[in-house]
Amino acid sequence: MFERLQKPFLTVDTGEAYQPVRVCYELAQPEKLKQILNDLKFTELKNRLGNNWDIYWRDELNDIHFESLESFKRVPEKPVRLGSLLIKDKFLYLNLPSFKRACMLVPRLHLLIDRATVSITKADFVNKVFGLNERLPHGFSEMYDDNELDKIVRERIHDYEVVQERCEHAETAEEAFQILSEYNQTESRKRLPYAERYVFHDVDTNHDNAFLGFYIFLRTRELVAIRRWFGETGYTLGDAIEDTVNEVFGDMDIDIIE
């Protein structure tokens, strides 16, 4: 454990943990999307095929703030590369190296790109942090198995539906609450899979709160990965959810009970 404490995990140049995320969009109007991406000032076309762009921390993204960079000196002539966009087949992929960047860029792109052009569907990510000298996966195809990720989502939905049905057939509200409480406790203690998928539903608003669930989902898993890296093996997803909800709603000064 002492050796691990002496070897911090790998971070990206804006300070947060390196945890790759791939966000997928269904593409409805590819030519219109290409024009939009070419017109945006923070994107740069990477190849002659016109299907791959780099995303830089500048222009329309200039106001994005990273709390981990209190003393970071930005150089306008050399903006930080935040991630990339790739059009492949009938999909648009947003590839990012950290959860923080995903939580900040996904809502912003939702505002800048017409939802009749693309629609967000899912985000795949890795539930761990990496050591400085650890071998990194070679590309997203090595990290993510679509069949396995779909299986995890189906199992999660099935388990929830079973609990929902049990609650609906409970004889009293107290019994339903007990069923739900036991389910939440069981889920919070489960070991997180190496890779996982978040599925977006009915994202049809311009407000950032449409992505609040996405933020909580990623932030809790980031906390678990970092705390366990530093030896807190008893830190559970339930602990992370409690800490994140307190952080989010505490800052908003909202009484979530009401």
pLDDT at 124: 93
Is residue 257 in a domain? no
Cβ neighbours of residue 28 under 8 Å, at least 6 residues apart?
Answer: 116, 117, 118, 119
Is residue 169 in a domain? yes
**Rg of the chain, C-alpha, whole Å:** 20
Is residue 258 in a domain? no
Q: What is the pLDDT of residues 227-241, one digit of tens each?
A: 989 888 888 888 888
Q: Both tokens of residue 136?
A: 């990194």
Is residue 128 in a domain? yes
| Angstrom distances, CA of residue 210 to CA of 83, 98, 246 | 22, 20, 19
Q: Regarding beta strands 81-88 and 52-56, do their DSSP bridges make them parallel or antiparallel, or are they unpaired?
A: antiparallel
* Sign of the Cα pseudo-torsion (29, 35, 40, 42, in order): positive
pLDDT at 99: 93
Distance CA 245, CA 242 (A): 5
CB 96 within 8 A of CB 105: yes
Distance CA 36, CA 55 (A): 13
Q: What is the pLDDT of residues 200-234, one digit of tens each?
A: 887 665 555 678 889 989 999 999 999 989 888 88
* Residue-number span of the structural domain to which 93 is assigned: 2-252
Q: Which residues pair with 24 in a beta bridge?
A: 93, 122
Is residue 222 in a domain? yes
User: Is the pLDDT assigned to residue 6 strictly greater than 60?
Assistant: no
Q: What is the pLDDT of residues 155-179, one digit of tens each?
A: 777 876 787 788 887 788 888 778 7
Distance CA 205, CA 203 (A): 6
**Mean predicted lDDT score pLDDT of the chain:** 82
Is residue 194 in a domain? yes
Is residue 183 in a domain? yes
> In the chain, how many domains are there?
1
Distance CA 166, CA 174 (A): 13
pLDDT at 106: 93
